[in-house]
């Protein structure tokens, strides 16, 4: 392990060098796996530092606190997920189809990145990075999780493809159901996630189609 660094901690607004940016990304990626494996409580600063081959002081130089590392991990998960889902939704032929694209691309992304699922379930069920039951703050401009889905539902209503209902409530409900089936798939490897998603979309279509 490297010797402790004597430099002052970085200030949030300081520009990153290429080396610093690469090191922050490395620490963030390691933290995602550690939280997924050990949970928030079990992911200590020392464990993060050991995984990165650094001293505690070196990690603190880059992030300032353990919580800042974990918030960075959560922000990366949400950012990568949002990019994947947004790409799928923008390629759908209609607003109604973009709702299905949202759900299926979300599932596909999570299947490809199981550690992301475990981190999100950890945060949403324990609330350790924020208020109970709420994700950590990753920026004042970060939209709520339900927003893209609700916006697609509103456009589909305007197109005449969905009946009138409160899109925020339906988006929250569909997102919560997805969280539930992801959690079940993690606890039971035999759970058919693809069948679960088909059934969820069938329920949504029965409830929402015009």
DSSP assignments along 14-29, one per residue: SPPPHHHHHHHHHHHH
Question: What pLDDT, on a 0 to 100 scale, did the predictor assign at position 142?
Answer: 58
* Mean pLDDT lowest among 65-74, 76-85, 117-126, 180-189: 117-126
At 162 the three-state DSSP class reads strand
Residue 197 lies in a domain: yes
Q: What tens digit of pLDDT does each residue of 145-169 get?
A: 789 999 999 999 999 999 999 999 9
Question: What pLDDT, on a 0 to 100 scale, did the predictor assign at position 126?
Answer: 62
Residue 90's CB is within 10 A of a number of other CB atoms, namely 9
pLDDT at position 185 over 90: no
pLDDT-based confidence at 135, cuts 50/70/90?
very low
Q: Looking at per-residue confidence, does 104 or 5 come out higher?
A: 104
- pTM for the model stands at 0.73
Residue 26 lies in a domain: no
pLDDT at position 50 over 80: yes
Residue 167 lies in a domain: yes
Residue 32 lies in a domain: no
Residue 129 lies in a domain: yes
What percent of the chain has pLDDT above 70?
83
pLDDT-based confidence at 3, cuts 50/70/90?
very low
For the chain, the farthest-separated pair of C-alpha atoms sits apart, in whole angstroms, at 65
Burial class (CB in 10 A: 0-12, 13-18, 19+), 20: middle
Q: What is the domain range of residue 128?
A: 73-208
Q: What tens digit of pLDDT does each residue of 52-67 get?
A: 999 999 999 999 998 8
Question: What pLDDT, on a 0 to 100 scale, did the predictor assign at position 128?
Answer: 53
CA distance 192 to 96: 25
Question: What pLDDT, on a 0 to 100 scale, did the predictor assign at position 182?
Answer: 83
Number of domains into which the chain is organized: 1
pLDDT at position 11 over 70: no
DSSP one-letter code for 44: -
Burial class (CB in 10 A: 0-12, 13-18, 19+), 54: buried
Residue 203 lies in a domain: yes
Mean pLDDT of all residues belonging to the chain: 85
Residue 3 lies in a domain: no
Residue 173 lies in a domain: yes
Report the CATH number at residue 201: 1.10.357.10
Which distant-in-sequence residues (6+ apart) come within 8 Å of 106 by Cβ? 81, 84, 85, 178
């Amino acid at each position: 392990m490297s010797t402790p660094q004597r430099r002052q901690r970085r200030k949030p607004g300081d520009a990153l060098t290429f080396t610093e940016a690469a090191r922050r990304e490395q620490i963030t990626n390691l933290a995602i796996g550690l939280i997924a494996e050990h949970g928030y409580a079990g992911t200590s600063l020392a464990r993060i530092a050991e995984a990165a081959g650094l001293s505690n002081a070196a990690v603190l130089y880059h992030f300032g606190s353990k919580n800042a590392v974990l918030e960075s991990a959560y922000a990366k998960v949400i950012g990568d997920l949002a990019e994947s889902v947004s790409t799928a939704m923008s390629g759908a032929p209609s607003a109604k189809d973009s709702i299905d694209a949202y759900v299926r691309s979300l599932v596909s992304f999570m299947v490809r990145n199981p550690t992301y699922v475990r981190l999100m379930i950890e945060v949403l069920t324990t609330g350790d990075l924020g208020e109970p039951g709420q994700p950590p703050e990753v920026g004042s401009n970060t939209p709520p999780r339900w927003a893209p889905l609700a916006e697609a539902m509103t456009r589909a209503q305007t197109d005449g493809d969905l009946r009138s209902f409160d899109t925020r409530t339906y988006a929250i409900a569909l997102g919560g159901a997805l969280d539930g089936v992801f959690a079940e798939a993690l606890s039971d490897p035999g759970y058919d996630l693809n069948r679960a998603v088909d059934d969820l979309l069938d329920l949504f279509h029965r409830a929402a189609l015009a």
